[in-house]
Amino acid sequence: MDRYWEKIANKYGKDVADKLIPYGKTGKDLIANYGEDFINVVKKMAPDDVAQAIELVDEYGDNAIKLILENNSLFYTKTVLKYGEVSQEFSDWDSMKNYFYRKVTNFMSDCKPMNSRVPKNGLQMVEK
């Protein structure tokens, strides 16, 4: 562990430093740019979730930090940052239904696996 990470470990705890060391310069840059707020995000994350949190903060900055610190899940945070929140009033049921249909359709197409084809004979169980 180099001196920078030793200082981080002494100031914020070894667990925070251990979570950030694998991200090297990106981790250092995010600490420099966002300070305590970013550290608080990292403290909240399980080690497996740190990569996604770093990606969100790196891409969306203060908005990602704010949503995560409000106890929102990473999934919800990413969805809100990418697609936005509902910030309009609807005059009738159809306009609201159409708005959400477009949002869900865009979201579902983003989540679709790259290889979503099913073989002509369908999925079959393989006996071992």
Asked if pLDDT for residue 8 goes beyond 80, the answer is yes
Token pair, residue 56, equals 């969100």
The answer to whether residue 118 sits within a structural domain is no
Task: Please report which confidence band the pLDDT of residue 77 belongs to, taking 50, 70 and 90 as the band edges.
Answer: confident
Q: Does residue 19 lie in a domain region?
A: yes
On whether the CB atoms of residues 60 and 84 are closer than 8 A, the answer is: no
| pLDDT tens, residue by residue, 12-67 | 999 999 999 999 999 999 999 999 999 999 998 998 899 999 999 999 999 999 99
Please report whether residue 96 resides in a domain: no
Domain that holds residue 62: 3-85
pTM to 2 decimals? 0.64
Q: How many separate domains does the chain show?
A: 1
- The 3-state secondary structure of 56-120, one letter per residue: HHHHHCHHHHHHHHCCCCHHHHHHHHHHCCCCCCCCCHHHHHHHHHHHHHHHHHHHCCCCCCCCC
Domain membership of residue 68 (yes or no) is yes
* Residue 9 is assigned to a structural domain of this protein: yes
